[in-house]
């Protein structure tokens, strides 16, 4: 059985393996023992903290194969970004130049450094081990977070965003970053990405261009990848687009990848999820597959279960094994969502 649960200290080795396997561009998990330990500590504190208004909490989950005891994936949600560290984006805009005298009108696309997403919740840190990328495992890992959002909305910003990994080559070099390195930062993409993952962002404020950047003046290779996603990220983007996430003209400052957003209450999975009362007994597994999650925070559990439920159903029957895995008892509620 695959179970989603909050990360804990004993998951450090698994998290470090994921950080190594995820490769360049996966900024949220740098290969640094001190940072990874701090991420686990911060997540544990966030899960155990009473929250009425989001600030800087971080909720990091892992997917565990209970048959082997191995952690095979991870996913996360930031409660409100930019509250402690600056959270930078480029905002795509347009400047219009018109002269009636000479009969010329030009529209020029610009990139402006901004902090517009400060306070938004962020879907982040999604990674599934290659040998588990099959069936509905990826959907379970990604979409279980929507059940947590739906159950605990007061812990998150009203807008939910996700930064999509931009285009880079096998060596981790970004076509978009090349011009920035040459004219402003002076360090390579991998180092800048790593420092950002460590939370050491002072160099951005010191070295990034302060005035709008004219897109037409960038190298063609950089222009082509603005708003484009890495090949490995396309499935994740498709899942989010199906939930109602859209790009509103914001891109990553290093690789030009798009950031997508949706209001929390308008996320399709948040709207479609349902609370049902648990009965414990023989299961009717002739129906569809659902993600089923308990309503807890620090003791959150979610898994995929085949259920025979209808729109009129107000309860579900779980076997003793599933009820135990989800840490629920008869009479308690669970939140469900078609996978």
> For 70, phi and psi rounded to 5 degrees?
-90, 145
Which pLDDT score is estimated for 194? 66
User: Which of 24, 89, 152, 230 is labelled catalytic?
Assistant: 230
Which pLDDT score is estimated for 30? 80
- Sign of the torsion formed by the C-alpha atoms of 26, 32, 38 and 43: positive
Is the CB of residue 259 less than 8 Å from the CB of residue 162? yes
Which pLDDT score is estimated for 199? 65
Which pLDDT score is estimated for 27? 66
Written as six digits, the tokens of 53 are: 């208004």
Shortest CA distance to 74 belongs to which of 120, 40, 50?
Answer: 40
Q: Quick check: is 89 catalytic?
A: no
Interior angle at CA 26, CA 22 and CA 30, nearest 5: 85
**Cα-trace Rg, the chain:** 22
Average pLDDT per consecutive 10 residues, the chain (339 residues; last block may be shorter): 97 92 70 90 97 94 96 96 90 92 92 95 92 92 96 98 88 81 77 68 74 91 93 86 96 93 97 96 87 98 92 90 96 95
Which pLDDT score is estimated for 260? 98
Whole-number Cα distances in Å, 283 to 4, 79, 279, 305: 21, 36, 10, 10
- Domains with residue ranges and CATH for the chain: 2-90+114-269 (3.40.630.30), 274-338 (2.40.40.20)
* pTM for the full predicted model: 0.89
CA 201/CA 204 separation, integer angstroms: 6
Phi/psi-derived region of residue 85, left when phi > 0, alpha when psi is between -120 and 50, beta in every other case: beta
CA 133/CA 241 separation, integer angstroms: 20
What angle do the packed helices 33-47 and 12-22 form, to 10 degrees?
Answer: 120
> For 252, phi and psi rounded to 5 degrees?
-70, 145
């Amino acid at each position: 059985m695959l179970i989603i649960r909050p990360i804990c200290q004993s998951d450090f080795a698994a998290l470090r393996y994921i950080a190594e396997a995820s490769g360049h561009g996966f900024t949220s998990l740098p290969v640094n023992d001190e940072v990874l330990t701090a991420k686990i500590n911060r997540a544990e504190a966030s899960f155990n903290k009473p929250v009425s208004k989001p600030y800087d909490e971080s909720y990091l989950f892992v997917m565990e194969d209970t048959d082997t005891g191995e952690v095979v994936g991870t996913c996360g949600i930031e409660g409100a970004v930019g509250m402690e560290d600056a959270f930078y984006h480029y905002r795509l805009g347009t400047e219009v130049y018109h002269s009636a005298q000479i009969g010329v009108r030009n529209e020029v696309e610009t990139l402006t450094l901004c902090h517009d997403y400060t306070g938004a919740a962020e879907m982040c840190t999604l990674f599934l081990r290659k040998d588990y990328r099959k069936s509905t495992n990826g959907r379970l890992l990604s979409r279980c977070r929507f059940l947590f959002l739906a159950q605990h909305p007061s812990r998150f910003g009203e807008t939910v965003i996700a930064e999509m990994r931009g285009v880079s080559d096998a060596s981790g070099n970004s076509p978009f970053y090349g011009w920035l390195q040459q004219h402003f930062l002076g360090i390579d993409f991998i180092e800048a990405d790593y420092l950002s993952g460590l939370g050491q962002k002072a160099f951005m404020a010191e070295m990034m261009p302060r005035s709008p950047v004219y897109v037409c003046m960038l190298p063609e290779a950089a222009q082509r990848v603005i708003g484009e996603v890495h090949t490995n990220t396309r499935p994740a983007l498709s899942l989010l687009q199906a939930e109602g996430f859209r790009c509103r003209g914001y891109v990553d400052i290093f690789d030009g990848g798009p950031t997508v957003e949706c209001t929390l209450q308008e996320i399709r999975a948040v709207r479609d999820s349902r609370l049902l009362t648990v009965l414990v007994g023989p299961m009717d597994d002739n129906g569809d597959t659902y993600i089923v999650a308990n309503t807890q925070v620090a003791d959150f559990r979610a898994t995929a279960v085949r259920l025979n439920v209808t729109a009129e159903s107000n309860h579900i029957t779980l076997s003793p094994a599933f009820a135990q895995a989800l840490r629920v008892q008869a009479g308690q509620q669970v939140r469900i969502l078609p996978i």
